[in-house]
């Protein structure tokens, strides 16, 4: 099976790598940021890098209008990038542990009719992440790792501690 694994660097990447044994024997495509901590992914499968929101410009100091325009342009760029990744790599399923690219990627999985699985971070005990709140209605399977979160998304499933 061809599986696309999407995550940001840092903790999201650590959680994805904790699931590594589940993907043995499958063809993998990673979608993440190009950082020192993600460089090793090139040895594990096809690796597609997307631009990091703060990679070129840090928008936090900008006036709100410019910050909003920058955010829209960033999202548009990543939608296009994710479109080409899905079109060219043709995964059968996309699995994500979160990060800024999850939203455009999961939106496009609906268009391409690709199955998607989102695994909310184990650190999210009392509330869903910002990405999780948006993706819960897009994901085919939305997993939470605390039963208390089941009430926050009607599509959420609890399979125990996945990570």
- Cα 84 to Cα 91: distance, rounded to the nearest angstrom: 12
Contact between 26 and 3 under an 8 Å Cβ cutoff? The reply is yes
Domain membership flag for residue 103: yes
pLDDT given at position 55: 52
Asked if residue 11 belongs to a domain, the reply is yes
163 occurs within a structural domain: no
**Would residue 124 count as lying in a domain?**
yes
In a domain, 95, yes or no: yes
Residue 150: CATH number of its domain: 3.40.50.2000
Structural domain boundaries enclosing 87? 2-158
As a whole number of angstroms, the distance between CA 77 and CA 16 comes to 24
Based on the structure, what is the number of domains in the chain? 1
Residues of the chain predicted below pLDDT 70: 53-63
pTM of structure: 0.86
Question: Where are the strands (E) in the chain, listed by range?
Answer: 2-7, 27-32, 46-49, 93-98, 115-119, 141-144, 156-158
Question: Which token pair is 28?
Answer: 């993998």
Cβ-Cβ contacts under 8 Å for 16 (sequence gap 6 or more): 5, 7, 95, 97
76: in domain: yes
């Amino acid at each position: 099976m061809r599986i696309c694994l999407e995550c940001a660097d840092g903790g999201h990447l650590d959680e994805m790598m904790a699931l590594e044994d589940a993907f043995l024997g499958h063809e993998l495509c990673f979608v993440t940021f190009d950082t020192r901590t993600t460089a090793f992914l090139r040895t594990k499968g096809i690796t597609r890098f997307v631009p990091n929101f703060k990679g070129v410009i840090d928008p936090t100091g900008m006036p709100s209008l410019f910050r909003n325009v920058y955010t829209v342009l960033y999202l548009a760029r990543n939608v296009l990038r994710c479109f080409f990744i899905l079109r060219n790599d043709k995964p059968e399923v996309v699995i994500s542990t979160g990060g800024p690219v999850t939203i455009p990627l999961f939106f496009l999985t609906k268009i391409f009719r690709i199955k998607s699985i989102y695994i909310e971070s184990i650190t999210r005990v009392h509330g869903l992440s910002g990405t999780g709140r948006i993706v819960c209605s897009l994901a085919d399977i939305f997993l939470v790792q605390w039963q208390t979160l089941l009430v926050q998304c009607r599509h959420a499933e609890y399979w125990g501690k996945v990570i």
